[in-house]
Amino acid sequence: MKESPLLVLGAGSWGTALALVLARKGQNVWLWGRNVQHLREMETARQNTRFLPNSSFPDTLRLQPRLEEIVPLVQDIIVVVPSRGFREMLLRIAPLVTATARVCWATKGLEYDTGLLLHQVATQVLGSHRPLAILTGPSFAREVANGLPTAVTVAATTLEYAQAVVQLFHTQYFRPYTSTDLVGAQLGGAIKNVIAIAVGIADGLGLGANTRAALITRGLSEMVRLGTALGGQRETFMGLAGLGDLVLTCTDNQSRNRRFGYALGQGCESQLAQDRIGQVVEGVHTVREVIRLARQLTIDMPIADQVYRVLQGEYTPKEAVSALLSRELKAECC
């Protein structure tokens, strides 16, 4: 029997890069995006000139504009949309998916206004019976599209489904590792964006490499504190989904969150900085939910808190740094 195509929902840079990984293996892949004109441009150019130029589409990658025609025909769906649109995307496909279809996402963040992890959103919308997974870790779309070596984590509701997703994506240059810690994998990918904004702010202020290293290390401590309080495993935060993604996002200018923070440190206004980047800066939306969860659980997250205060206009970047440096002295483990 002929295998059904794989469906990637989201035609931004990351969705396109993952579709390319799958299609270059010879698998039939359908790529859907909400902007029909953008899909037409990609079909004509056979590349994503807006978000991932110079990466040609193989013949096995096709653009599909109509969800109602394609969702009922697939067994594996990869959701790659911003976290603020995650529930809406699932609500659109919920009446269309087959009973046996499996859903994986490569979205990093928490649901805005509720603070829910995305697997909680998926369970609410699609039911508790459906296999769910997240693909996460240190991975820039451009490098993946260029075939540079990349390692990621696939965390799923069952080890069997995690292994199935690994088999879908594994290539000579793209190596996924399995996990069943959905909570930890998601929180690592969400919180690292907040810390990356902090590091970007510090670099924009010209505070140097020592400060950058301190923020990354103490930011990891904040990630572990909140993550384990919510049920994540400490080991997950020390792996690709936590430390790996944190280091990448905090140290390379391909990171939108780092670039956004850098612009703030240079004196740029928040909305203007986002507009200049031109794509979603997930940490801007995530930090509010992270702080809300931390306060509910009385978890100390001073770096994330200062990022939140800067974005709320309560502090300038310089004032936020001063607030961090004036905190009570304590043991490093605390």
DSSP for 9-27? E--SHHHHHHHHHHHTTT-
Q: What share of the chain is helix, strand, coil (3-state, %, to 5)?
A: 55, 10, 35
Q: Dig out the tokens for 309 from the structure.
A: 């205060």
Residue where the block lists tokens 């810390």: 195
* 297/56 Cα distance (integer angstroms): 47
Q: Give Cβ neighbours of residue 280 (< 8 Å, ≥ 6 apart).
A: 82, 84, 256
The 3-class SS string of 166-202 reads HHHHCCCCEEEEEECCHHHHHHHHHHHHHHHHHHHHH
Let me know if 2 is a catalytic residue: no
List the catalytic residue out of 25, 192, 318, 330: 192
Residue of 105, 223, 114 lying closest to 157 (CA atoms): 105
Catalytic annotation, residues:
192
